[in-house]
Structure 1
């Protein structure tokens, strides 16, 4: 279901695109939170996967004192962000483009940037809920120890923000390219599932074949998972990382590059799709 902005049409020209984006985002959030089934599924899925894999894979990662399940917790935090930002958002964009929602908005003074901002705000709220649920379940079920160092939480925040931005834009781009919204779920979820299993979400990334490591390094999820490990796991785990360090600078650079490259591509692709469907 698409949310509608509550700003009167006669005043839209006087309201900034940023303010309009927040208004639309608030509407998107209200509409989504009314669907308790969708909200519940969005929370249960990452928590369930974390509990499943965390129970199946026990013991310590070779050469470290870190439990495999702790690595999974960090990986699923990254995966939960991408699930909302890429998976759910991509499907929503495909639907809005197909049913004419975006076309109707673009025929009014309502800016396309405000529509995108609204979607980003919705994805951000859902990602916060999903990650919070994963961490809470990990603490209760596995005795996972949350960081006490503020610098760790600062790292967590920027990895979350950059990862959310990169995967949201990727979801928008892919969603705008899907011609049939009925097929959007499969077309979007299949690459997401593949990336989960090659990006170090459920096991140590260094244990993957070199070829798969190189493929995963091209996409945001690998760097998001690595960034989450740098925020949530002890420094002793760096011995299990491929580079032997957290590579925080490279993680920030790669995720930022995705945002810079995808932003204009998303605008071009959405506008092209709307003009084509007129």
Structure 2
């Protein structure tokens, strides 16, 4: 993409405009600045899972029979998974719906900025906040609740692909669900309700060995359950896998389901995403 300018001597020169990737980086920087300038939002985003971790770990503090861990240790990976989904699915689902309602998307669509740059900016926002959220919970888990960091490269590799696939799948679902609310005002209730239900049936707040099988089977259709299970496999000892529905971490199945949601989420985005509100035609 180029623009033509006229010099004083009357000669025409061509200046190359920034590409989609470069504009995406700039857009990501703007998204991060806007996020960190809203102090209340920053505090809520990073404090919410930590507070819930503290509450549940304090209420259910006994050792888990037969698993070789305490209940508080069991909650740390689940809260990490919920934090990843919160900074991606919930954050994008609500913010994009509000931007559409306030016609921000419509104005951006009318600029020369490639559409891909807008989504790249959101990707950078989600990636940075997701990493920070996970780091905060890891620090709390290791210093307060005696969660041990993996000592072998295999588990760190599993953590990496779980994080990448999980945050990608949840971000794409967040973009897709942003088209469901009819207005920015209803976005919070439309997005938060399914996220809250998934947290209860995916093993975030309740140990999976106490959840009815039919609920676990429903939760297994969505990314959060596999993200929780995979992170438990990374940060908990092997003895804890007796709590799982099948008695194993099922890393391979987690990769398949999360990968499928990445593909399915992308298809949903392409089919449903709108730059304008329904009332705007």
TM-score of the aligned structures, taking structure 2 as reference length = 0.90
1:67 maps to which residue?
70
Find out whether 1:103 has 2:84 as its counterpart: no
Deviations 1:220-257 (A, max 9, x none): 11011011111111112122211222111110110111
Residue 258 of structure 2 is aligned with which of 249, 255, 258?
A: 255
- Between Structure 1 and Structure 2, the one with more helix by share is 1
- 2:120 matched to which residue of 1? 117
Once structures 1 and 2 are overlaid, which stretch shifts more, 192-201 or 61-70? 61-70
**Structure 1 unaligned runs (5+)?**
1-7
Secondary structure, counterpart of 2:273 in structure 1: helix
Q: Deviations over 1:5-24 (max 9, x none)?
A: xxx99899743322221211
* CA–CA distance in structure 1, aligned partners of residues 244 and 79 of structure 2: 17
Q: Matches of 1:80 and 1:9 in 2, distance apart?
A: 43
Change (3 A) 1:274 1:180: closer
2:45 is the counterpart of 1:34? no
Deviations 1:44-80 (A, max 9, x none): 1000001111111122323211222111000000000
Q: CA RMSD in A?
A: 2.1
Three-state SS of the structure 2 residue aligned to 1:182 is coil
Residues 127 and 9 of structure 1: is their aligned pair in 2 closer, same or farther, counting only changes over 3 Å? Answer: farther
Alignment of 1:156-235 (within 5 A): 156-235=159-238
Change beyond 3 A, Cα 1:276–1:19 = farther
Q: Answer yes or no: is the 8 Å Cα contact 2:101–2:277 preserved in 1.
A: no
Alignment gaps of 5+ in structure 2: 5-13
- In structure 2, distance between residues paired with 1:256 and 1:216: 16
1:134-171 Cα distance to aligned partner (Å, 9 max, x none): 12122232232222222212211111111101111111
